[in-house]
Structure 1
Amino acid sequence: MNLMFVMFCAVVGSLIRNLTDARETISNQFVQLNGSHEELRRAHEQLSEYSKQVENLTVIQERNRIAREIHDTVGHNMTALLVQIQLAKELLKLDVEKGEEVLTICEKLTRNSLEEIRLSVRTLRDDEGMQLAFIPSLREMLSDFSAMSNMETSLHIVGDPAMITPSVQPTIKRVIQESLTNAKRHGMATFYKSTITILKEKISVEIFDNGQGVNSVVPGFGLLNMKERIQEHGGEVFFESIEGKGFFITFYIPLNNLMWSSAEVTG
């Protein structure tokens, strides 16, 4: 009887020790889990802060680029305008007809410069404070350009615009802006169509204008600038044209490079 009692006590004692050990193990694991949760929370905060810094840096870089474009493009036009005005002054003394031709060139340079300034100022204004939602801002830009240039424009959206993150929105907008300017200035286009398609893995943009076109596309500053912008996001761009049949631009930007900042998406 005593032996049975001793064995019973031994078993109970063993169970109690095992239970105590198990509770201690669970307690330790709970402490570790809390520690891991806290580390994860801090890591998430750091990632969010990093995301904000990247977005702010993108905005700063974009504004600096616009300032350079204003300086380069408008500065070039103003220099050319000054030369043409000086030439016109001399020609008007000798040949009124030729002088008037030069003044017509001056007028064109002035209009182009004003157009560049208006578009750049609108771009800067849209980036500040409570800016328009991305797609409406594109539609407004196209509408304004159409009113200024008498070129018919259209924008089609396929998919969910909310998937277009803020970090890539300026690139899409500037490429469309540059393509508008090229279509009118170089191609003398009367019709412009753009389509933005948002897929799971990428954003695809197709642009067409019915301008003069060329048989061989030699990228100038504008097209090279487009390419550089798109490649910064891991994307690709393709230029196609046939003389007399307009100009095509197709580019895509992979979404897998952008989804980390999806929490900051604005439609």
Structure 2
Amino acid sequence: MRTHSADFSIYERTLYYLRLGFILTICLIYFFYFVHRWDHWTIIFVASTMILFTINHFLYMRVASSTMVTLIALLDFAAASSYSFVFIHTNMPSQALIAAVGISMFYKIRSRRAMISFFILLLMYWIIFASFGLYKGVPVYVVDIIIFTVFILYTSIMGALLRHYQQSRNETIRLNEQLLHYSKEIEALATTNERNRIARDIHDNVGHSLTSLLIQLQAARKLREVEPERSDSVLMKCELLARSTLQDLRLSVRAMNDEAWISASMEQNIQAFIQDFSDISGMNIQMKVEGSLDSIQPTIMLACFRIIQEAMTNARKHGHAHRLDLTLCNSDGILRITLRDDGVGTDRVEEGFGLRSMRERVEGQLGSIDITSERGQGFTVAIQIPIAQ
């Protein structure tokens, strides 16, 4: 047997307070309407049941044990059904109290056994009530039994439906929170992987360049006294190698900065990166924008930013390009990015880590990427990413 959680939302509290108000209203009607007709014991009975209903109301909201909830429901049922026998000579609808017990019981407890037990109790109630009515000479009509039974079943089913709705709502909230947590974990993992990749690139490229620089400097030192002219040539190579290494290091450090793009628009971020990249690499980069980029989601914007970074880095490092044309077009719910460079190109495009990383980023946004190249004609990268309007 499973019970509903003891942690009540404002909607559940409102439902239970409305239930309590309904029960106490009926009890007060009995109290004030018949107070001048009955003895003190009857008045004490009504007051006692009102106290019992109130205590059970708060117990319902605090108890999570299925056994305790069942016991509370049985006490409520006994108190509610007793009104039919104490006030047998009246025409008051005491069965409405039983209906209120049913809605709270079916809302709180999810168990076939509990439901069957409730229906058996209800059947026993009607049998005892009809027998007691015959004994007291009070007519009991089958139509009344049918009407009130349908009413009680209706309210009980409403309680079960409300419980199902509330559980579905709580489950949806839990799944949304879990999804948000997983999303943050994935984002953090992706950032860590990106930083590790960049750190690895720095280690490999800069380490290789510094090793070459050290060898060249050792050679220049040995040649300085023997062949000064050749020594100057080696030192010139060392200077160029040091500049190239410094450029690679600056670009890698800039690529690790995620915070810079958050405060500005996508177009401003890309323009700033192009300016820095051109200053460091000496490449001539031209950008053309068609349509507005303001409606693009931050996740798509960051992915596109990283793709453009990777494409420009590949064009400079592997394609030895001097010029690159970048076009961004937002139309018909699709962001189209095209990059063309004048690098050395190749007849056979082989995807290394950089191109694979670009493809994974594009496919992660449900987009497509097409990479083409010809020897001596540079590379062309065409990307299409659907965006939410």
TM-score band w.r.t. shorter chain: 0.7 to 0.9
Change (3 A) 1:253 1:90: farther
1:229 aligns with 2:357: yes
Letter paired with 1:154: M
Contact residue 164 and residue 203 of structure 1 kept, 8 A: no
1:39 aligns with 2:171: yes
Equivalent-residue separation in structure 2 for 1:7 and 1:226 (angstroms): 89
Q: Report deviation, 1:164.
A: 4.5
Which deviates further from its counterpart, 238-247 or 140-149? Answer: 238-247
2:379 to 220, 244, 247: 247
Q: Report deviation, 1:69.
A: 1.0
Change (3 A) 1:241 1:32: closer
1:66 to 181, 194, 198: 198
- Corresponding residue for residue 127 of structure 1: 258
Equivalent-residue separation in structure 2 for 1:200 and 1:20 (angstroms): 56
Q: Report deviation, 1:250.
A: 2.7
Change (3 A) 1:156 1:92: farther
Contact residue 183 and residue 189 of structure 1 kept, 8 A: yes
2:286 to 141, 153, 173: 153
Contact residue 196 and residue 206 of structure 1 kept, 8 A: yes
Scaled by the length of structure 1, the TM-score of the pair is 0.76
Letter paired with 1:86: Q
Equivalent-residue separation in structure 1 for 2:302 and 2:207 (angstroms): 23
Question: 3-state DSSP class of the match of 1:189?
Answer: coil
Q: Report deviation, 1:13.
A: 2.9
Q: Give per-residue Cα distances to partners, 1:9-63, cap 9 Å, x unaligned.
A: 3223312211221111112111221111111111111111111111111111111
Letter paired with 1:41: I
Q: Give per-residue Cα distances to partners, 1:217-246, cap 9 Å, x unaligned.
A: 454xxx512232134343664432334433
Equivalent-residue separation in structure 2 for 1:111 and 1:174 (angstroms): 24
Q: Report deviation, 1:251.
A: 4.0
- Corresponding residue for residue 85 of structure 1: 217
1:56 to 159, 169, 188: 188
- Corresponding residue for residue 262 of structure 1: none
1:216 to 323, 344, 347: 347
Matched residue pairs, number? Answer: 246
Equivalent-residue separation in structure 2 for 1:65 and 1:161 (angstroms): 30
Letter paired with 2:339: I
Q: Report deviation, 1:176.
A: 2.4
- The higher-RCO structure (CA 8 Å, 6+ apart) is 1
Letter paired with 1:153: Q
Equivalent-residue separation in structure 2 for 1:77 and 1:97 (angstroms): 23
Letter paired with 2:285: E
Equivalent-residue separation in structure 1 for 2:386 and 2:285 (angstroms): 30
**Structure whose alpha-carbon radius of gyration is higher:** 2
Change (3 A) 1:225 1:134: farther
- Corresponding residue for residue 309 of structure 2: 177
Equivalent-residue separation in structure 1 for 2:223 and 2:359 (angstroms): 48
Equivalent-residue separation in structure 2 for 1:45 and 1:206 (angstroms): 37
Q: Tell me, which stretches of 5 or more residues in structure 2 are unaligned?
A: 1-137
Question: 3-state DSSP class of the match of 2:240?
Answer: helix
Contact residue 217 and residue 239 of structure 1 kept, 8 A: no
Equivalent-residue separation in structure 2 for 1:9 and 1:237 (angstroms): 78
Q: Report deviation, 1:132.
A: 4.0
Q: Give per-residue Cα distances to partners, 1:62-99, cap 9 Å, x unaligned.
A: 11111111111111110111111112222332333322
Q: Report deviation, 1:114.
A: 0.8
Equivalent-residue separation in structure 2 for 1:69 and 1:215 (angstroms): 23
Change (3 A) 1:129 1:65: same
Contact residue 158 and residue 198 of structure 1 kept, 8 A: yes
Contact residue 255 and residue 309 of structure 2 kept, 8 A: no
Q: Tell me, which stretches of 5 or more residues in structure 1 are unaligned?
A: 1-5, 260-267
Contact residue 192 and residue 207 of structure 1 kept, 8 A: yes
- Corresponding residue for residue 122 of structure 2: none
